[in-house]
Amino acid sequence: MSSLYKDITLREDVAGCLLCRDAPCTKACPYMVEVDKIIRSLRFENKAGSVNKLPDVLPCDTCEDKPCKEACLKGKLNTPVQIDRIMKNISDETKIKEKEVDLSIDFCNVHCENPFFLSSSVVGNNYEMVAKAFEMGWSGVAFKTIGLFVPKEVSPRFAALTKENVPFVGFKNIEQISDHTLEENVGFIKQLKKNYPTKVIVASIMGQNEQEWTKLAEIMTEAGADIIECNFSCPQMVEEGLGSDVGQNPELVAIYTKATRKGTKLPILAKMTPNVGRMEVPAMAAMEAGATGIAAINTIKSIMNVNLTNFESEPSVEGKTSIGGYSGKAVKPIALRFINDMKKCEKLKNAPISGMGGIETWRDACEFLTLGCENLQITTSVMQYGYRIIDDLINGLKLYLSSNDYKSVNDIIGKALPNIVPADKLERDSICYPRFDMEKCIGCGRCYLSCYDGGHQAIKISEKNNKPVLIVNKCVGCQLCVTICPAEAIKQGKRLPKK
């Protein structure tokens, strides 16, 4: 029976791993199995990559002492990760031969060895950090936003949103632009370009008036940047007329884009705020004013985690907080919606887009690529797991492309766009009924509860075996039951014409 739930068990076991630095499980393995890398690949949805890392003969079955589990630091919290079970659950998978694929792409006429950049944030804030990321395989960086002033920051400035046992569903920050001086930032960029000439440096800038936007563009061009990114979208700047205040005003977007263009011949990205109804409007203003492409999305204005004892909200600075920027996995659907809207806009359909917002895995990355992005920027996942996520971003993307006979990352760009259509174009004359797998059903009744209390009362529970029975004449095919089943025992069934 347990083999029916192998994938569920695997996900739960892997989710328990702490993803340690210098992992003791791997160091303890007498057979030199890369335990930590295998589990990390599974965690980041790169199952094929994890299987490829397995030795040809798996020693776990004959290893009686299980020193990896003994060394697991999770055991200090409660119980160690079930490493032997994880290995056994993937040991019967077939290894995939990695074919030659081209991950490079020319974005805004700048050659990138792969589509993965660090986005403008604390993850790319000085020379040492970015150099480490470049060494590990990141193709480029949007350096943390540079201005002619150094902001005074608060402490603390980060908070996370959780759900049940899932940490980091979403993330809030109230951090501003770079806390380094202009001179320091120029030095970082010059040194990075000297030591890593093939890597791409995007200089993110933020001015307070037209003159500052022009001056910053001139300075960054002289420093050796490859692309200029105009930060029209930071939601937590202290002064008025900065960040998302600009991005919500198409006239200001146009004025500051023109001012930036006066200072450089480099490609210019206009970084959009999601705190608008229609992103196409400021995006068109930017492109018409001289931008080369669009970066989207920046963080979403947010308030989170109100303490119901003292009524403070996080991050709490001496009992107070402010509206900040929301990011992380939870914002991915919002980012994809804005990107789709821009790609469907006649005046923006050919504009290069650097996509960001909730990218954690190669699969997330592919979703952005298939909706038309040619470049990807990542922050929150790096803040959680470190620069090392690049290993599975690259490997997972390569394995996906090669196993589907794609030769290049260019082959998948925009492929999902035709399948996103207006609501009135969706097929409405048939019903796709759910199909119950009674062998996998454990009789928990979750489908019944959800259908009765939140659906169309189309499921009843059999008195004979305590399992669900579909009431066909009540079912509307909404698939809520498919979505909530914890045993993955309900799938989409046949599609039939409506009666």
Candidates 499, 489, 496, 497; CA nearest to 435 is 489
Catalytic residue selected from 234, 366, 373, 441: 234
The answer to whether the beta carbons of residues 207 and 154 sit under 8 Å apart is: no
For residue 451, indicate whether it is catalytic: no
DSSP symbols for 273-331: PSSSS-THHHHHHHHHTT--EEEE--PEEE-EEE-TTT--EESPBTTB---EEEESGGG
How far apart CA 369 and CA 112 sit, in angstroms, is: 15
Of 198, 154, 137, nearest in space to 378 by CA: 137
CA distance 44 to 28: 23
How many whole angstroms separate alpha carbon 59 and alpha carbon 383? 34
Report how far residue 351's alpha carbon sits from residue 296's, in angstroms, rounded to the nearest whole number: 12
Please confirm whether the linkage preceding 151 is cis (ω < 30° from 0): no
For residues 78 and 466, what is the distance between their CA atoms, to the nearest angstrom? 34
Sign of CA pseudo-dihedral 67, 69, 73, 76: negative
CA 196/CA 385 separation, integer angstroms = 24
Tokens describing residue 417? 């766009």
Q: What tokens appear for 292 in the block? A: 């080369």
Whole-angstrom Cα distance, residue 495 to residue 88? 37
Q: Indicate the helix (H) or strand (E) that contains 127.
A: helix 127-136
For 280, the token pair is 């196409």
As given in the structure block, the two tokens for residue 400 are 């996906």
Closest to 273 measured CA to CA, from 247, 295, 240: 247
* Cis peptide bond prior to 297, omega within 30° of 0: yes
Known catalytic residues are 234
